[in-house]
Structure formats: C-alpha cells, structure tokens
Amino acid sequence: MRGYSGDKDAYLKRLRRIEGQIRGLQRMVDDDEYCIDILTQVSAATKALQSLSLGLLDEHLKHCVAEAVAEGGDAADEKVREASEAIARLVRS
C-alpha cells in the first residue's frame, strides 16, 4: 500500500494521457509544425506532470508522512526530511 494506492487507476490514466501528449509532440516535430505551437504543447505536458506531482505529494503527506509521525521515532523525522527534499526538487524543476 502506498499513499496513492486509492487513486492508482486515476494516476495511471493521467500518465497515459501525458504519454499521449508526448507522442503528439513527436508527430508535431515530425510534421515540422510551428515552434510556438510545439512550445504550447510542451507547456501543457509540463503542467500536467506538475499537477500529478502535487497530487502524489499530497497523498504522501496525508498517508505515509502522517503514519510515520503518528508512530513517532526517527522514522518520522526521516519521512519529513525526504518530503522536504522532494518538494525542493519539484519547486526547482
């Protein structure tokens, strides 16, 4: 069981849609479509990935981090440190 397990099918569906966006981008480049139109689609795929991250992170805080904190001990500190590092990677990507 993971934080996102309850919404696993929804996450898989979102990832398949993003995969479709990336394949659409390959067709656009292959068809020599206009740079700006390609950039617009890249921005849409990037936003979809970020929104997915925010969802996963929310579930992670709600389930995994909260459970570790409730159990107490060093595992809780470790989980918070790990979550903070993931947030930093997200903000900087």
Residue 43 Cβ, how far from a copy of itself at the closest point, in Å?
A: 4
Helices vs. strands in the chain: H and E counts, helices first: 4, 0
φ/ψ (deg, to 5) at 33: -70, 165
Distance CA(1)–CA(21), nearest Å, equals 29
**Rounded to an integer, what is the distance from CA 16 to the centroid of its chain?**
13
Shortest Cβ 58–a copy of itself spacing (Å): 4
- Shortest distance, CB of residue 76 to a copy of itself, whole angstroms? 7
**Amino acid sitting at position 78:** E
Binding site for a copy of itself (CB under 8 A): 1-5, 8, 11-12, 15-16, 18-19, 22-23, 25-26, 29-30, 32-36, 38-40, 42-43, 45-47, 49-50, 52-54, 56-62, 64-66, 69-70, 72, 76-77, 80-84, 86-93
